[in-house]
Amino acid sequence: MKRDLVIGVDLGGTNVNSAVVDDGGRISHRAWQSISGSRTAGEVIDRLAACVETTMDSCGRDRVAGVGVGTPGLIPADSGTVVYAPNVPEWVDLPLQSLLRERLELPVAIENDANAAAIGEHWVGGAAGYANIICITLGTGVGGAIIMNNEVWRGSNGAGGEIGHMTVVENGRMCGCGAPGCLEAYASATAIAEQARELLRGGRTSVLTELAGSDPGRIDAAMIAEAADRGDETAREVMHRSATLLGTAVSSLTNLLNPEMIVIGGGVIKAGDLIFGPVRAEVARRAYKWSAGILEIVPARLGDDAGIIGAARHFMLSRTT
């Protein structure tokens, strides 16, 4: 039987998702596993492998050519090793590719999760047909990836594209990386929620209290977007500040790299113009006009599937080089 199927895997902070991806970027045979509470490498690999095996059982494992995996962490090009993953302390110099290859008995290619999402958007998403793009994902953190001349730009050792750790406020809020003032400390979904909670603790009145059932711990970025859409001033203030600082970072990227398109993804973009309006306004105000004049700033088109599709595409490309 011909092995003509590729499985893409997106390893997130709480879940792992897998699916078959065909040569046109279409998805089928989805599977899902929770990895909440699984922090050792062995536990996460067990869940990831179980997820892939569910997909293989569904599509026919004899037809699977290989697996592409998008994972958090620093991965030097073609190394197959996660050198460092900030939110998974045990993942230091983890040979994830070889471990999964042995476990699944299939060829495996791994890629940084932000790069995988960018590859997906560049292949069949909002950036298809563009050679020079930047993708920014607003989630638990702020993921970033750069594609120049149709190739992922990785930097000298694979650490390139860490857009979430650009400084946007001098001596500002502390970021999880240990530095002050990073974009991630203001514009990630996690940071947006925390800034709203801080205002409520300071005595602000807001419909967020009602939406959260008087439990501030339940407030998340989606709830803030809903409150802002309803005209809540506290929610709108938080969203505007976060989006404006995102626009500051986007302006710097525009001046530095002169991309054709910047794609912004993650659940936060459901806020629509509350995010994109301030971002575009900051770029118009700050960026060099010859770069800003050609730039398109658009929402991601593939949603949560970008990582799966991009991981599968990374595997496909790895077989042709």
| Residue pair 224/193 in contact by the 8 Å Cβ criterion | yes
Please indicate, yes or no, whether residues 108 and 58 belong to a single structural domain of this protein: yes
Mean pLDDT of 300-312: 96
Please indicate, yes or no, whether residues 167 and 132 belong to a single structural domain of this protein: yes
CA distance 56 to 79: 26
Please indicate, yes or no, whether residues 274 and 310 belong to a single structural domain of this protein: no
CA distance 299 to 311: 20
Instruction: Find the helix or strand (DSSP H, E) in which 265 lies.
Output: strand 261-265
119 part of a folded domain: no
CA distance 69 to 46: 14
CA distance 306 to 191: 23
166 part of a folded domain: yes
225 part of a folded domain: yes
121 part of a folded domain: no
- Please provide the size of the chain in residues: 321
207 part of a folded domain: yes
pLDDT beyond 70 at 1: no
Q: How many domains does the chain have?
A: 2
pLDDT of residue 314: 97
CA distance 274 to 243: 8
Token representation of residue 213: 């059932």
Residue 167 belongs to domain with CATH number: 3.30.420.40
For 263-293, what is each residue's pLDDT tens digit? 999 888 988 999 999 999 999 999 999 999 9
| Residue pair 296/262 in contact by the 8 Å Cβ criterion | yes
Please indicate, yes or no, whether residues 92 and 204 belong to a single structural domain of this protein: no
- Backbone phi and psi for residue 47, each to the nearest 5 degrees, phi listed first: -70, -40
Instruction: Find the helix or strand (DSSP H, E) in which 281 lies.
Output: helix 273-286
CA distance 129 to 301: 14
Please indicate, yes or no, whether residues 65 and 202 belong to a single structural domain of this protein: no
118 part of a folded domain: no
- pLDDT-based confidence at 321, cuts 50/70/90? low
For 285-296, what is each residue's pLDDT tens digit? 999 999 999 999
pLDDT beyond 90 at 131: yes
Token representation of residue 196: 């709203």
**What mean pLDDT value characterizes the chain?**
93
For 21-66, what is each residue's pLDDT tens digit? 999 999 999 999 998 876 688 888 999 999 999 999 999 889 999 9
**Percent of the chain residues past pLDDT 70, beyond the cut:** 98
CA distance 204 to 196: 9
Please indicate, yes or no, whether residues 144 and 21 belong to a single structural domain of this protein: no
53 part of a folded domain: yes
Instruction: Find the helix or strand (DSSP H, E) in which 114 lies.
Output: helix 113-124
**Percent of the chain residues past pLDDT 90, beyond the cut:** 78
Mean pLDDT of 203-207: 92
CA distance 42 to 147: 32
Please indicate, yes or no, whether residues 103 and 160 belong to a single structural domain of this protein: no
Q: Helix, strand or coil for residue 117?
A: helix
Please indicate, yes or no, whether residues 69 and 159 belong to a single structural domain of this protein: no
- pLDDT-based confidence at 14, cuts 50/70/90? confident
Supply the range of the domain harboring residue 130: 126-300
120 part of a folded domain: no
Other Cβ atoms less than 10 A from the Cβ of 16: the count is: 23
Selection from 243, 6, 218, 247 nearest residue 107 by Cα:
6
Please indicate, yes or no, whether residues 133 and 282 belong to a single structural domain of this protein: yes
Mean pLDDT of 89-104: 91
For 78-95, what is each residue's pLDDT tens digit? 789 999 886 666 788 999
Q: For residue 55, which amino acid is it?
A: T
pLDDT of residue 177: 87
For 110-128, what is each residue's pLDDT tens digit? 999 999 999 999 999 999 9
CA distance 41 to 45: 6
Selection from 147, 100, 90 nearest residue 263 by Cα:
147
Pairing of strands 261-265, 151-152: unpaired
- pLDDT-based confidence at 179, cuts 50/70/90? very high
Sign for the pseudo-dihedral over CA of 170, 173, 176, 178:
positive
Please indicate, yes or no, whether residues 198 and 294 belong to a single structural domain of this protein: yes
- pLDDT-based confidence at 172, cuts 50/70/90? very high
pLDDT of residue 4: 84
Please indicate, yes or no, whether residues 189 and 280 belong to a single structural domain of this protein: yes
pLDDT beyond 80 at 254: yes
